[in-house]
Amino acid sequence: PCMHGFALGFRFAQHTTAMFRCHLRQLGPWCRRMASYPLCSTPKLAALCAPARVPNGVSTGSPAAPRRLRTVSAAAARLRAALPNGVTSRLHMLAHASNLCRLTALAQSDLLLLQAIMSIASATNALYNILQPKPLLTPAGYGTLFAVFSALLAAKIYRERDVRLSNVEERVYAEYFGGALERGKFAKLAALGLLGKAGGSEETVIRHGESKLVLVVQGGAWVCDGEHRMERGPGFLGKVAFLLSSPFAYDCVRVKPHTTYISWEHAELAPLLEAEPAVRRALEG
């Protein structure tokens, strides 16, 4: 069956090729006749196809864009003339530096470093194009645009990361969120929490039926369920019920004396979890 199918396919290909060649032979004379006809075969068409004449002394107008390009080219030529000959003869080094910076940027896992190094790569690429004997304005312009764009992104990321936290918040961020959440987003999370410290006796921080999240920073807690008490150390309490928007199933959570903790109410934290999926993912982790 395979050989029979192959033979049928081969015959079909032969037949199709023969028909194609026949059509080409028939179309050949017609194509040669059409090619011999003039483009403008009548006086009216010739008049329409003829270029418009401009009277003497009438200016067709010089667009502003070419003048700006000439100005930029002249400025680039003056910049090149001001450089020492040793620099202009080694312009290829700029191209090497630009591509090495771009390669280094793509190898970065940190977005801030990536954008910062990419802005340097684009700037050196623009400088290489503008300093050519005949300045390459189009790639230089795009290089400048990319450099500015990357620099703005790097500045935005740096501003979001440059957040001042308290000592307790720094400790919480380092222990629970350091590799999973940006400092700016953690600052929003910390601002919605209530920092508390138990006194000389136990304090109830979560009651049955509440939707509340508690992080024990220092100290410990008891999860009470009837007569049973489960001891817990530093960490999150009530996280599963909180993320599922379910009421707390146990009787209560009581922190030990002198325990430092942070608590969040579901009604206050839910909008942030909806707007910032990264915060929810960090809590789920």
Task: Give the C-alpha separation, 278 to 189, whole Å.
Answer: 11
Cα angle: 129, vertex 126, 86; to 5 degrees: 60
Of residues 182 and 19, more confidence is placed in 182
DSSP 66-82: HHHHHHHHHHHHHHHHH
Are 237 and 206 contacting, i.e. CB atoms less than 8 angstroms apart?
yes
pLDDT at res. 104: 93
| φ, ψ for residue 77, nearest 5 deg | -65, -40
Task: Give the C-alpha separation, 152 to 144, whole Å.
Answer: 12
Tell me: pLDDT of 266 over 70: yes
24-40 average pLDDT score:
55
Bridge partners (DSSP) listed for residue 232: 221
Q: Integer distance in angstroms from the first to the last C-alpha of the chain? A: 58
| Edge-to-edge strands, sheet with 203-207 | 203-207, 252-255, 221-225, 228-232
Task: Provide the 3-class DSSP secondary structure of residue 230.
Answer: strand
Helix or strand run (H / E) with residue 195: strand 194-197
20-29 average pLDDT score:
60
Q: Which two tokens stand for residue 285?
A: 């982790």
Quick one: what percent of the chain has pLDDT higher than 90?
26
Task: Give the C-alpha separation, 256 to 201, whole Å.
Answer: 7
pLDDT at res. 248: 85
Q: Where does the pLDDT of residue 260 fall: very low under 50, low under 70, confident under 90, or very high at 90 and above? A: very high
This prediction has a pTM of 0.53
Burial 133-164 (b: 16+ CB within 10 A, else e): eebebeebeebbebbeebbebbeebeeeeebe
50-75 average pLDDT score:
55
pLDDT at res. 58: 44
pLDDT at res. 61: 47
Q: Which two tokens stand for residue 272?
A: 């942030």
Tell me: pLDDT of 9 over 90: no
Report the mean per-residue pLDDT for the chain: 78
* Plot region of 60 (φ>0 → left; ψ -120 to 50 → alpha; else → beta): alpha
Q: Structural domains in the chain?
A: 72-161 (no CATH), 167-284 (2.60.120.10)
